[in-house]
Structure formats: C-alpha cells, structure tokens
Amino acid sequence: MSDSTYDAVVVGSGPNGLAAAITLQQAGLSVLLLEGKKELGGGLRTAELTLPGFRHDICSAIHPLAAASPFFQTLPLAQYGLEYLTPPVAAAHPFDDGTAATVVNSLTDTAQGLGPDAKAYQRLLAPLVASWPGLANDVLAPLHFPKHPLDMAQFGLSALLPATVLTRRFQGEKAKGLFAGMAAHAIQPLSNLTTSAIGLVLLIAAHRGGWPLPRGGSQAIADALVAHFRALGGHVETGTYVRSLAQLPPAKAVLFDVTPAQLLQIAGHSLSSTYQWQLRRYRYGMGVFKVDWALAEPIPFTAPECAQAGTVHLGGTLAEIAAGEQAAARGQHPERPFVLLAQQSLFDATRAPAGQHTAWAYCHVPNGSRVDSTAAIERQVERFAPGFRERILARHTFDTAQMESYNPNYVGGDINGGLLDIRQLYTRPALRASPYRTSQAGLYLCSSATPPGGGVHGMCGYHAAKRALRDVFHLPASPLYQA
C-alpha cells in the first residue's frame, strides 16, 4: 500500500464507494480508493461465468436507479464510454393463462393494459411521475425536512403502506400481480410497512426513463465512474483487502463502503461500546440464490410481450408472490419462489456469440441458505416458457455463501446491505443524528447499510461524503441534478 498521505481514504469500490470518492475528489481533496479485489466495481462486475463469449452480470443487471440517480446525472459518464440501452418493455409479468402485464414508458399505455384498473393505476402513478424530478432528492436521502413537502407527503401516504394493502386499490389480478412483483424487490414480506415504496420508485423510473442496461455489462458503469475519478486526479489501489485501521495510510477522513459486520471487524476497537452494540443489533435480510445461463436461443415465453422486456417477474398472482416471500423470510424454501429474471442479450449483442443468448435470474432464500435452488428457479421459468430447459448450453450458480465470498457486503447473501424495513429505513445502521458518522471522529460509513439503502444509485456514498466534507474539511459538496 502507498505510504503517501491523503486527505481522505475510501475503502471499497462499489457504486457508493465510487460516488463518495468522486464527491471528495471534486471538492479538491486528495483521495485514495482501496479495493480488496483485483477488479473494481463491487456489485458492478461482468464476467464470462459459463462459456467463452457469454458475458454475465455477476450481481446487478438492470439499472433504472443508476440512470435516474441525481448524483450520477451530474457526471459526464458517457464521455467514458457508458451507453445505456433501454428495452421497449421495462418489465413484463406473465400469468398462467398465457397473458402478461407490462410496464412501458407510457403511463397511459401501461394503464390501458390493466383493464378495469386503468384509472386506479393512473390516479396512483401520474402525480408521482410528474413530481419525481424534485421528489428524487428527498426520497433518495437521509431523514430530513423535505424540500418538496407536499409532494413528499403524497408519495409517503402510499409508500408507507404494505404492498398487500396498497394493492387493494386494484380489482384485477393483473394489476395486483404486477405491483406485487415490483414490491418484491424490497426483499421482505409484502405485508411489511414500506414495501410499497420500492414498487412505486421502480414504476416511476419506468415511466420517466425506462429500465436501461449498460452496453457491455454492468461493469461499464463502474469503469466509467473509475475513469472519471482518475481524471479528477484520484488514486486507486486494488488487491488491498483492509482488515484493520492499521493498514490505512494517514488521512483526515476514512469512508467505508462496507456493512456493520465488516466495520466491526476493521475498526471495532476504535468505536464506542454503545455504537458497537448498535452495529451488532443490525439486521440482515433474506439472501439470494442466483443462476446465469448460456442459451442457444432466446427464452420461449408464451406471452409475446416478454420478448420485448429486459426484466421479467416470474411469480404469478399477488397471493402466490406474497406467500413465497413470507415463507423465505421465515426460513423456508417455497416450491414456487418469486424469480427476477433479466435477458440482457436480447438488447445488447455484446453479451453472447451471434445468435446465442444469456439470461440472469435469482430468487429470495433464507439468509445463509446453502440449498441449491436451481431446479426451483428453472421450473418457474419453464412454467411461463415451455421448452426453456432445452435451450440451456451451460449454467453458473451462486448460493448465499458464494455471494458473500464474492462480495463480503452480501452478508448471508443479502444484496441490500441489510434489511430495509420500517425499523431500518432511516436508522440504518444505527439511530444517530447522522447515519453516516460512526462514533469515531473521521470515520464514516458510505455503503448501502446507510440511507437510502440498496440499489445502484451512489446516493449513500454522495451523502456520506457530503457529511465528511462538512465535518472534517468545512467544504460544500457539488450540488445535485435538478430537472
């Protein structure tokens, strides 16, 4: 490791670590970014997991929040080769009768596809879609008095509800199932408070800009962020796994893109006993079991709309999805798990050899589960796409332990950096005046274990860096994008 002295050190190069490093470097500081692996990016990595020429996103795949991020929108990432490709259908939700509900950019067209629930869908989403440019900075931030209080109140009245309650506004199974699939991204029982929030945010993103994927793989987002950081004069060291504060070079501020479990290992002796107690009580949520496939042909979905979708939610009705998520949260493995599936190669020819394809999917499982869910996931795909298995050339799987081994932030396979329920929505990782400060002056958390939580948006890193700039350096952060 370098013996140089820096103003700030950032540990971990996931999207939040990169956002923090860029924010600090933009303020004129000297910043060192440390990454334990040889490749930068955290969850933003792409590799040939199955066969040569088949490029798979190892973790995150579809990026509505990256494209819509108030922080990322301030950066010239296209200058470094980042190009987003937007499928005509953001998400499709097939049913057993061969039909599918779809979310497209047009709110009106999406609503019309929901039959008797068209007006209810428009009443729910139209005002939120219209107010999102100003609302985004309030939603994707720590607890504060909102700059747009009326818009935030309108959002909050629906967002705080359990998804099982909000869906009572709909009559038909299409609208109910569609929203259940959106809310299931919260990775918790749909009967929990605030599970409607993630569903609403994802639908708003779809109607404002779609659900894009980066050409070449999710690694392209990390590569562009790293290139911009370096262009600003930032320093990067890879292959440096930080296990203690003693490993770090002198710096006035250190920001950790890690979760509470790793922070306790690295800096526990420097933290107050009360703060350590709070971190030990931090709760992780369900894990994921992930499968990547190399395919001879596209997935043969019965519903034709699925062939136009970058993301397909496989779970059927609201009742089925809610039961499956509840079972996994209780430590069980449902026979029909809710499956999130992405088919990037339909829209990005760089992902597979000519004429062939890739697919990416995961289901939620109990935290730390070692059960192989491959068969359960493939049954769900085959249910809505008969003949799918015949097209598989090769597969690669990650169970929860392998996910955590790949990225220590995924404790027990939890890709959200901790359970994002009402108890940890704004108090993650601990109840403090600022969630980014630790009990030790100069040490900060900037990971998805801080508000606003999981997702590739960089906002946790931006807000943590903003806090450090104020506390330690008495400097302002660059302003965020306002539409």
Q: Which domains does the chain have, with CATH numbers?
A: 6-46+60-82+214-282+418-473 (3.50.50.60)
Q: Are strands 46-47 and 89-94 parallel, antiparallel or unpaired?
A: unpaired
Mean confidence (pLDDT) of the chain = 96
SS3 189: coil
**In this structure, what DSSP letter does residue 115 have?**
G
Residue 272 has pLDDT above 90, yes or no: yes
pLDDT at 481: 60
Q: Which position has the token pair 């008495």?
A: 474
Quick count: other Cβ atoms within 10 Å of Cβ 178?
30
Report which of 473, 446, 20, 19 is spatially closest to residue 221, judged by C-alpha positions.
Answer: 19
Residue 269 has pLDDT above 70, yes or no: yes
Q: Which position has the token pair 């860096």?
A: 465
pLDDT at 358: 98
DSSP 316-343: -SHHHHHHHHHHHHTT---SS--EEEE-
pLDDT at 2: 59
Residue 426 has pLDDT above 60, yes or no: yes
Query: Any bridge partners for residue 397, and if so which?
Result: 291
> Which residues fall within 8 angstroms of residue 145, CB to CB, at 6 or more apart?
none
- Under the banding of pLDDT at 50, 70 and 90, the label for residue 302 is very high
131-140, 154-163, 440-449: which has the minimum mean pLDDT?
131-140
- Under the banding of pLDDT at 50, 70 and 90, the label for residue 31 is very high
- Under the banding of pLDDT at 50, 70 and 90, the label for residue 434 is very high
Q: Which position has the token pair 């962020």?
A: 225
Summarize the confidence of residues 217-241 as an average pLDDT: 98
Residue 145 has pLDDT above 90, yes or no: no
Residues 149 and 3: their CA atoms lie apart, in Å, by 48
Residues 413 and 404: their CA atoms lie apart, in Å, by 6
pLDDT at 396: 98
Taking only the tens place, the pLDDT of each residue in 353-392 is 999 999 999 999 999 999 999 999 999 999 999 999 999 9
pLDDT at 147: 87
Summarize the confidence of residues 221-240 as an average pLDDT: 98
Residues 480 and 483: their CA atoms lie apart, in Å, by 10
Residue 1 has pLDDT above 90, yes or no: no
Helix extents (H) in 160-269:
163-166, 173-183, 195-209, 219-231, 260-267
Residue 203 has pLDDT above 90, yes or no: yes
**In this structure, what DSSP letter does residue 473 have?**
I
Percent of the chain scoring above 90 in pLDDT: 93
Summarize the confidence of residues 148-154 as an average pLDDT: 91
Percent of the chain scoring above 70 in pLDDT: 99
pLDDT at 483: 44
Report which of 381, 345, 380, 361 is spatially closest to residue 290, judged by C-alpha positions.
Answer: 361
- Under the banding of pLDDT at 50, 70 and 90, the label for residue 480 is confident
Summarize the confidence of residues 94-104 as an average pLDDT: 98
Summarize the confidence of residues 421-448 as an average pLDDT: 94
Residue 114 has pLDDT above 90, yes or no: yes
Quick count: other Cβ atoms within 10 Å of Cβ 277?
11
